[in-house]
Amino acid sequence: MSADDKRVNLLDFDEAGLRAFFTAMGEKPFRAQQVLKWVFHQGETDINAMTDIGVALRGKLQELAEVRLPVIIDEQRSTDGTVKWLMGFNGGNAVETVYIPEPKRGTLCVSSQIGCALNCSFCSTGTQGFARNLTASEIIGQVWLAAQALGHERNGRRRITNVVMMGMGEPLLNFDAVVSAMSLMRNDLGFGFAARRVTLSTAGLVPGIYRLRETLDVALAVSLHAPVDDLRTELVPLNRKYPIAELMRACRDYVSEKHKRSVTFEYTLIDGVNDHPEHAHKLVKLLRTVPSKLNLIPFNPFPGTSYRCSSAERIAEFQEIVMRGKLIATVRKTRGEDIDAACGQLVGKVQDRTKRSARIKLQMAETGP
């Protein structure tokens, strides 16, 4: 798209928004259903090829709108089958999107922002700083491009069975665009995923959790990483604003009544930092009041970090303690590590408005390796 092209990107609308768009054009709102079926069921992005829409309307529509997708800049494939794409946008920015195949499902990890403003100390994405929020079209476009690149089906089942908003960025800081994109993931005219197969992961933006509960039915994951406030604030600075007690109240509310399911708590195990038996016992006490599952994540190193992954023995001990406390706890298998596609390793290409990446590079140069 040229700089002076003012056409609307139809992928920025969910079904309700697209129906409103056609109504404002003086057209019947059912045209939205036709366009969505072409884009998501037929994989067609050329408006002129949407043949059940009249020629006159197609001409009018092409003057006002387009279907514009991100661009795949690079693709890397891991020895374990994981695939990572670098997807580019206007302005020279890019994000990383990861597909993780498993015997009975295929999970796509999608980004919501270019970089991240939260600066969690154990996450490589945070060291890149922050450029901007992604639009709804740039978010759903990652899913569309991945589906096309992978091919829709394997052994009669589609390759992408689950989508997790766990890539670059904090999804709840880009609420409207993320919800619009997830609505298309859920909608039968879009990708048609069930609620439990679309997961939003948050570092704990409490107001956003309450708002999400009232807006869209999707699964919730919370990046916890510590059972007490002082340690969590060190790892997740957002905890200063929304401490653990407030976060737990929001999580209990999310799974009550309307959302009768559990919250997945993510806990990255860092050697000597948050992996002691006392942390495990405190975690059991903390999560006892919330219907939940615990996802233990071995820390994935990245350049410049002083953190190390907990030993296999310490991870096993931690898991045993929390399971004795009647929590469901699984250890996430590290995938795509050879292509830097593992949890916490996504970096993309960020035109950093925060200048954080430059400050971190200067600190590394001053302190040495």
The answer to the question of residue 18 being in a domain is yes
pLDDT score of 358 more than 90: no
The answer to the question of residue 249 being in a domain is yes
Q: Which residue has the tokens 């990708």?
A: 191
What single DSSP character describes residue 49?
G
- The residue annotated as part of the active site, out of 15, 66, 96, 266, is 96
Q: Pairing mode, if any, of strands 113-115 and 106-109?
A: unpaired
| One domain, residues 223 and 273 | yes
pLDDT in tens, 75-130: 999 888 899 999 998 878 889 899 999 988 999 999 999 988 888 888 877 677 88
Asked if 120 is an active-site residue, the reply is: no
| One domain, residues 19 and 119 | no
| One domain, residues 179 and 245 | yes
The count of structural domains within the chain is: 2
The answer to the question of residue 332 being in a domain is yes
| One domain, residues 350 and 229 | yes
The answer to the question of residue 238 being in a domain is yes
| One domain, residues 59 and 119 | no
- The residue annotated as part of the active site, out of 116, 120, 309, 343, is 343
| One domain, residues 97 and 180 | yes
pLDDT in tens, 292-301: 999 999 998 8
Query: Which residue segment(s) compose the domain that 42 sits in?
Result: 8-66
| One domain, residues 263 and 143 | yes
| One domain, residues 27 and 145 | no
pLDDT score of 1 more than 80: no
Asked if 109 is an active-site residue, the reply is: no
| One domain, residues 35 and 183 | no
The backbone region for 132, taken as left when phi is positive above 0, alpha when psi lies in -120 to 50, beta otherwise, is: beta
| CATH at 23 | 1.10.150.530
Give 222's pLDDT tier (boundaries 50, 70, 90): very high
pLDDT score of 316 more than 60: yes
The answer to the question of residue 157 being in a domain is yes
| One domain, residues 259 and 239 | yes
Q: Check residue 90 and give its pLDDT.
A: 81
- Tell me if the pTM is above 0.85: yes
Helix (H) or strand (E) holding 22: helix 15-24
For residues 56-74, average pLDDT: 95
Question: Above pLDDT 90, what percent of the chain?
Answer: 72
pLDDT score of 241 more than 70: yes
| CATH at 104 | 3.20.20.70
Query: Which of 292, 293, 296 has the alpha carbon at shortest distance from 279?
Result: 296
Q: Which residue has the tokens 């919370």?
A: 222
| One domain, residues 16 and 125 | no
Boundary residue ending a domain (66, 89, 109): 66
